[in-house]
Amino acid sequence: MNLLKIESVELNHAPKQHRLAPFLGGNLLQFWQPIRIVAGNVKTENHQPPLGRQGHMDRSHNPLFLLLFALLLSTLQGCVQHASKSSPLQANTSRNITLPPAEHSQQNYLLTAQNNPHDLWQRIRDGFQLPTVHQQQFRSQMHHFLSLEHFFENVSQRAEPFLYFIVDSLEKRGLPTELALIPVIESAFKPLAHSSSKAAGIWQFIPSTGRLYDLKQNHWYDGRRDIYASTLAAINLLDDLGKQFNGDWLLAIAAYNGGPTMVLKAMAKNRRLGKPTDFWHLELRSETQRYVPKLLAIRKIIRNPKRYRINLPLIPNHPQLAKVNLSAQISLKTAATLAELSTAETTHLNPAFKRGITSPHAQYLLLPMEQAKIFSFNLKRIQRQRLKKTEPSREKSRKNHYRVQQTDTLWSIAYRFGTTAPQLALWNQIDLQYKIRVGQHLRIASGRGKTTEVTFKTRHPLHYRVKKNESLFLIARRFELNIADLRRWNRIDYGQQPNVGQLLRLTPERKVRLNAS
């Protein structure tokens, strides 16, 4: 399945015109005729020169003069009639022409193919709430984005899996849908994007703001790169900023970029100087001064892409992803197999997991709708099979103990007893990150008698021959082993790597004796 396959819309292009013409000069054809403005309407007039001046009326009574004047009027009338036939816009020079607002005229420029209720972009346009501003205030940003070849096509492709959830979440909170375009500026919808200021994810949270909005960051997981969690956090942050600035979204968006403190200080300075405190009059750092015009420029292009010769692929107006809750950790490779997806696709949708395995703190995955159903079906089937084979009956079940030895880990103990580290942690009510101590007793579920001998069983082979360019890390990850165990079983010191062709042992060959409690 090609997750990022995009349906494109056939666009009927208007007559050839430079992309920037609509906002650099409007219609390049100018009709030069006298006009006057009457109550917002444009009214054309005919200005006729006076036929005579006071003190020279004698000439108008001269018969020869009257004859010449009649011939002149006849000639001028013919010219006017000819002009009226050749230019319909000048035919009726006394009619009233109502000029629509600039934004309205741009919005309705070749929109016949865009009003598609099945296109998520149209749903976004319908939710626009930000005020309209003059073109001159973001002309340079318009020029910048329009000069980027295929930029909007690429952004649309990357945004497709996530954009519906973002728009739907904004609408549920009653927020402007323009805010769904912020990731276009922040990251171009690249989930792994990061900046020099240590901002990460499509919303580009810095670490401190991420923690403030409950985005956990540890060696397992970075919530700033979690599409689901970071989107909810970004909406909470934007909602807070909107309320802080009394619904002035231009100030709120500026604060999203530069922080509310910077914006509030600039507003206080303008108050002292008796200046307006709206965004356009504030002295902010250059990045923030460009930030809001960037969003408004993108909004203007998205509102009517055909006007600017932009091919904006259709995004279906329905959910793309499902949130699948988990009861235990699982590797992304295993999840991909269960969902019948590639590992790369699964990782792309779940970029927050830094070690190729889900975190103890975020027990869910984002998967395409159909693949989520397949994943759930396959996972339940495997769980049923395991229950039949390994879970002891309640009548015979006893809690046995194992004493932790030097160099033992949860993973090594779990593999010795044919179970998993999450299951072992569950039996002992401890977290996977918990460091076990030498001499500590761990419970092992067993259906045997007082003394049980358990032989290590595994789903992978007992030995593996090292291939070219393979490291211990890659081999351990491939067979879902602990790298420390792999070193100990094969007596490989830290800092050393196995040789090509070397036969590695993938399991300890020993029996473990359990003492019943």
Beta strands in 149-202 (DSSP E): none
Which of 160, 178, 186, 480 is catalytic? The answer is 186
Query: In this structure, what token pair is assigned to residue 203?
Result: 């919303």
Rounded to 5 degrees, what angle do the CA atoms 289, 293, 299 make? 155
Q: Find the helix or strand (DSSP H, E) in which 515 lies.
A: strand 511-516
Cα distance between residue 482 and residue 507, in whole Å:
11
According to the 3-state scheme, what is the secondary structure of 450-505?
CEEEEECCCCCCCEEECCCCCCHHHHHHHCCCCHHHHHHHHCCCCCCCCCCCCEEE
Cα distance between residue 27 and residue 483, in whole Å:
69
Q: Find the helix or strand (DSSP H, E) in which 36 lies.
A: strand 35-38
Active site annotation includes 160: no
Q: Of the candidates 225, 95, 235, 101, which has an alpha carbon nearest to the alpha carbon of residue 177? A: 235
> Are 402 and 438 a contacting pair, CB within 8 Å?
no
Cα distance between residue 240 and residue 456, in whole Å:
55
According to the 3-state scheme, what is the secondary structure of 188-217?
CCCCCCECCCCCECCCCECHHHHHHCCCCE
Beta strands in 234-356 (DSSP E): 321-325
Residues designated catalytic: 186
